[in-house]
A and B are shown apart, each in its own frame.
Chain A
């Protein structure tokens, strides 16, 4: 017999709002995913490795941009900056850092998002996303949620928030850390003022990547009670789409070859990359930087060549300047706003589908 049995006790208190309840779902799902998958935990750590590459870049650019620093005394950092930008660009940067820094930073963040983080995000989503609704279907957990005062949109927001949390931990969070590093190393407060809008661009690009892929993976997850099938569906959407896009883009590899304008629609990652390009204004800023730097070499130029090759026009930088269509670097055929619009349409259609879908299992 217990010494003191409290029995049933009632509770009275102020209840939390609708958003807090959705957040509770997201927090619980993030915890479940992290506990369930060692691979996911390792991946989240792996996602920070690209920072090790970009930090020296920001360190070197910050050093040479400060007119008070003597390039001769910081040989290593100056050498690094020369490797990245070329000497002419460094000279121009030292003359007017406020005009040049935001462009360099924006392009660097675009490359960070487009070339490493969006790829890593796709893998993380492949691990964490497919079980989210599939396991609720399998375990009939809908009754647990909807027997409480939870609306379908709160449930969906919680699930979307779960995927978004993993994507943000690979895009938004490391990008903000990089930004903080850059600000800490910038010559004066003018650097902060000049580059502050980039914070919003980082946030917007993260959202542009996170929301569409979260919606797509949740739609796939809601179609089956077997998470393996949902995972296969996600990999099919991602990898087959990517293969189809690359096949159309690089076929022949001939000078002047252009992929069909609709090719990017086949690849979700390509769409998100182009959306990021539009948000960071990568095209405009690259053009501006090339005009500023003239024929300066450096990794920036080589990076642009890499981008051009990826886009199916490897000879773009070899053509006379007045014929160079740098627009092609960050998306051939149509402006990035189209990618943003397509992603928004995918997200809206997916959310409408999910709202109808998640109510149905309860109404049996």
Chain B
């Protein structure tokens, strides 16, 4: 088991950042989803032993976070969300230092720093001072720092923040590739698409609580087989035509209906619209449970997507 969480709680005075999270997380790439302020970063810091628990217990790779945090940090890599750098060092020196801090001999750390920077696709810029780096370069350096000591488990906190679309795609490709090589990954993010792109399972947090934890395959299933249809020219005829085809139709606005039924709903809607001469302006699939729960969490948490 990669992570075992048992009523994990953390509070800062009266504010409860984590309110009793319980979960067993298997090896793989796990998405830790939630709006800003849901407690994702706090949970990651708790699991690294950087922040003390105020209740419950947790084990990472079988090690207790209360008593074996140093041993945990030997085995895991952490890419923080914060823009944290050691000013004055070149990129490659910065990664090599991270290796030495993790216990690699100096020469090995430098060799491996170059390997990791090759892997994250940071070319000659590695010889520039890190203070001059763009956000994307800093993200790459942070990932290389997290990987240098060959961790068994990686915590990535918002790894695609500040990346352009190509950079984001490359970063997610690296995450997928690490997962395929057997390295456990916990991808903490507020971007649903990132989780859908590379995770095997997802945990959704909201207001410090675990709302959902399931495989992505299960979470992708629709909550109910329905779609919203917006038309021009009235919904009465369309409703009758759809009803004749065995669908349940519920008007929800003057020119909008909710259609439920089995089979290819899109095909049925277009056939019915053609038959009764109305123009379909929009068909939107009903949300799957991943989107649904995530958006509920965002609304409940008062959060907003960046």
Q: What string of 1s and 0s marks CB contacts (under 8 Å) between B235-265 and chain A?
A: 0000000000000000000000000000000
Q: What string of 1s and 0s marks CB contacts (under 8 Å) between B85-100 and chain A?
A: 1111100011001101
Q: Judge whether A147 and B177 touch: CB under 8 Å.
A: no
Q: Is A35 an interface residue (CB 8 A)?
A: yes
Binds A, one of B25-33, B70-78, B194-202, B270-278: B70-78
Q: Judge whether A141 and B87 touch: CB under 8 Å.
A: yes
Q: Judge whether B102 and A15 touch: CB under 8 Å.
A: yes
Chain A: residues with Cβ within 8 Å of the partner, total of: 37
Q: How far is the CA of A20 from the CA of B11 in the complex (A)?
A: 36
Q: A21-B101, A362-B50, A363-B50 are in contact. Are A6 and B106 (CB under 8 A)?
A: no
Expressed in whole angstroms, the minimum distance between the Cβ of B186 and any Cβ of chain A is: 13
Q: A8-B181, A16-B100 are in contact. Are A35 and B86 (CB under 8 A)?
A: no
Chain B: residues with Cβ within 8 Å of the partner, total of: 44
Q: Judge whether A146 and B50 touch: CB under 8 Å.
A: yes
Q: What string of 1s and 0s marks CB contacts (under 8 Å) between B46-77 and chain A?
A: 00101110000000000000000011011000
Q: Judge whether B101 and A24 touch: CB under 8 Å.
A: yes
Binds B, one of A132-140, A188-196, A289-297, A350-358: A132-140
Q: Judge whether B97 and A147 touch: CB under 8 Å.
A: no
B-facing residues in A139-163 (Cβ within 8 Å): 139-151
Query: What residue of chain B has the Cβ atom nearest to residue A10's Cβ?
Result: B150
B-facing residues in A59-90 (Cβ within 8 Å): none
Q: Judge whether B103 and A149 touch: CB under 8 Å.
A: yes
Q: How far is the CA of A283 from the CA of B147 in the complex (A)?
A: 58
A-facing residues in B95-144 (Cβ within 8 Å): 97-98, 100-106, 108, 112, 115, 118-119
**Shortest beta-carbon contacts, A-B, top 6:** A15-B103, A32-B88, A24-B100, A148-B101, A140-B84, A147-B78
Q: What string of 1s and 0s marks CB contacts (under 8 Å) between A17-36 and chain B?
A: 00011001100100110011
Find A28's partner among B84, B89, B115, B150 (CB 8 Å cutoff): B89
Q: Judge whether A28 and B93 touch: CB under 8 Å.
A: yes
For A10, list chain B residues within 8 Å (CB): 150
Query: What residue of chain A has the Cβ atom nearest to residue B52's Cβ?
Result: A363
* Sample (9) of A-B pairs whose CB atoms are under 8 Å apart: A13-B105, A21-B101, A24-B97, A28-B97, A139-B84, A139-B85, A141-B85, A146-B50, A362-B51
Expressed in whole angstroms, the minimum distance between the Cβ of A116 and any Cβ of chain B is: 30
Q: How far is the CA of A32 from the CA of B84 in the complex (A)?
A: 17
Q: A8-B177, A28-B93, A140-B84 are in contact. Are A147 and B118 (CB under 8 A)?
A: no
For B45, list chain A residues within 8 Å (CB): 362
Q: A35-B88, A147-B80 are in contact. Are A12 and B150 (CB under 8 A)?
A: yes
Find B84's partner among A13, A144, A149 (CB 8 Å cutoff): A144
Find B105's partner among A8, A16, A31, A139 (CB 8 Å cutoff): A16
Q: Is A255 an interface residue (CB 8 A)?
A: no
Q: Judge whether B112 and A149 touch: CB under 8 Å.
A: no
Expressed in whole angstroms, the minimum distance between the Cβ of A26 and any Cβ of chain B is: 11
Q: Judge whether B89 and A32 touch: CB under 8 Å.
A: yes
Query: What residue of chain B has the Cβ atom nearest to residue A359's Cβ?
Result: B50
Q: Is A11 an interface residue (CB 8 A)?
A: yes
For B115, list chain A residues within 8 Å (CB): 6, 9
Q: Is A320 an interface residue (CB 8 A)?
A: no
For B183, list chain A residues within 8 Å (CB): 8
Q: What string of 1s and 0s marks CB contacts (under 8 Å) between A268-283 and chain B?
A: 0000000000000000
Q: Is B83 an interface residue (CB 8 A)?
A: yes
Q: Judge whether B73 and A148 touch: CB under 8 Å.
A: yes
Q: A21-B101, A140-B82, A147-B48 are in contact. Are A13 and B118 (CB under 8 A)?
A: no
Q: Is A7 an interface residue (CB 8 A)?
A: yes
Expressed in whole angstroms, the minimum distance between the Cβ of A184 and any Cβ of chain B is: 34
Q: What string of 1s and 0s marks CB contacts (under 8 Å) between A214-233 and chain B?
A: 00000000000000000000
Find B112's partner among A11, A31, A142, A363 (CB 8 Å cutoff): A11
Which residue, of A12, A149, A362, has the highest number of chain B Cβ atoms within 10 A?
A: A149
Q: How far is the CA of A254 from the CA of B282 in the complex (A)?
A: 100
Q: Is B149 an interface residue (CB 8 A)?
A: yes
Q: A8-B147, A21-B101, A28-B97 are in contact. Are A13 and B108 (CB under 8 A)?
A: yes
Q: How far is the CA of A9 from the CA of B89 in the complex (A)?
A: 25
Q: Judge whether A150 and B112 touch: CB under 8 Å.
A: no
Query: What residue of chain A has the Cβ atom nearest to residue B116's Cβ?
Result: A8
For B108, list chain A residues within 8 Å (CB): 11, 13
Expressed in whole angstroms, the minimum distance between the Cβ of B74 and any Cβ of chain A is: 5
